Amino acid sequence: ICHRLVRTGIIKKDGAFSDESMAEGGFPISGQGREAVILSQDDVRDIQLAKAAVRAGIELLLKRASKSCDDIERVYIAGGMGEHLSIDSAFGIGMLPEELSGERGGLPRVTAVGNTSLKGAVEELLHPDPARLEAITRMGTPLLLSDEPDFNDTFVSYMDF
């Protein structure tokens, strides 16, 4: 929804509604009266904060690994975000770098895969494999974004849509 509203000019690049009356009452999505679903200015700000954090995380991960988007074959978006995110909208609001769009080898470079941690937990319960589990736990390297010196500047630079 946010992507469409930005694209049509209802929400400006800085996240403010173009019609000041919507800043107070929000943008009606569906229903009326007590049944109305409204996108509020606070909702838009929350989307901006989440989008900026994700994008800053991507940029800092690439920097830490000395890689560019061209080096990335596939991106899998998991969890609640992977369950509900429109990939096109994520590109449209700048959550994902445009350089990751399109396909490679006939497959989309970015794919939403749903709740993979739950799927993995079920798989491990049904087919225990301690060696595989140990290997998986060694594959990751934690990166605390708040500890990265460039995080705040990078985060702020991606706030606009």
Instruction: State the pLDDT at residue 33.
Output: 85
Mean of per-residue pLDDT scores for the chain: 93
Nearest to 53 by CA among 61, 43, 63, 41: 61
Pairing of β 37-39 and β 27-30: antiparallel
Confidence of residue 142 (pLDDT cuts 50, 70, 90): confident
pLDDT at site 21: 87
- Considering only CA atoms, which of 140, 145, 142, 141 is closest in space to residue 60? 145
Report percent pLDDT > 70 for the chain. 100
Q: Which amino acid is at 6?
A: V
Judged by DSSP in three states, 122 sits in: helix
High-pLDDT (> 90) share of the chain, %: 78
| Sole residue written with tokens 């994700």 | 54
Q: Where are the alpha helices (DSSP H) in 65-158?
A: 79-84, 87-92, 116-126, 130-139, 151-157
Given this model, what pLDDT does residue 54 score? 96
The Cα–Cα gap between 50 and 56 comes to: 10
Q: Say how far apart CA 15 and CA 19 lie, in whole Å.
A: 12
Return the amino acid letter for 82.
Answer: G
Q: How far is 62 from 113, CA to CA, in rounded Å?
A: 21
- Using the predicted structure, report yes or no on whether residue 40 has a pLDDT greater than 90: yes
pLDDT tens, residue by residue, 46-95: 999 999 999 999 999 999 999 999 999 999 999 888 888 899 999 999 99
Find the radius of gyration of the CA atoms of the chain. Answer: 19
> Model's pTM, two decimal places?
0.86
